[in-house]
Homo-oligomer: A and B are copies of this chain.
């Protein structure tokens, strides 16, 4: 079964967990797993007040769809949807939601973990932390590896 249209999205809007789950689960699924990434109040020992997410949206959606397709094929799950939020987020708000539906739960756990790890390695999204003292800085991340030799 192919995933629903626009299964993977970058959006400035709040992520709706019910919509993510319900649009992923089909009658042959017995479980779904929702990964919910949220803004923490501290990072590296420093108090975080807000997080600003930026994405290269067109490429990020393409990469998220590639990762979802890889996970579906590798673990044999049902639909996988990934929604990443951009813009200014407060502590406790969700930055990413990943729904993985599957006939059985084992595959859902493996695929969900695969998706979040790969997302952090390859999807062009950045975040800038704002501290209580007003300072901001870009959070150091992963340098994506280019598969073909250069």
Taking a contact as CB atoms closer than 8 A, the residue among B21, B36, B40 that contacts A103 in the complex is: B40
> Would you call A28 an interface residue if the criterion is a C-beta within 8 Å of the partner chain's C-beta atoms?
yes
B33 touching A37, Cβ below 8 Å: no
How many of chain A's residues have a CB under 8 angstroms from any CB in B? 31
A33 touching B34, Cβ below 8 Å: yes
Shortest A117–chain B CB gap in Å is 9
Taking a contact as CB atoms closer than 8 A, the residue among B28, B32, B92 that contacts A36 in the complex is: B32
Copies of this chain assembled into the complex: 2
Neighbouring B residues of A18 by C-beta, 8 Å = 16-18
Q: Contacts A17-B21, A25-B92, A92-B25 given; indicate if A30 touches B38 (C-beta within 8 A).
A: yes
Shortest A50–chain B CB gap in Å is 12
A35 touching B31, Cβ below 8 Å: yes
Shortest A4–chain B CB gap in Å is 15
A36 touching B34, Cβ below 8 Å: yes
> Would you call A140 an interface residue if the criterion is a C-beta within 8 Å of the partner chain's C-beta atoms?
no
The 4 lowest CB-CB distance pairs between A and B, nearest first, are A27-B41, A34-B34, A30-B40, A32-B36
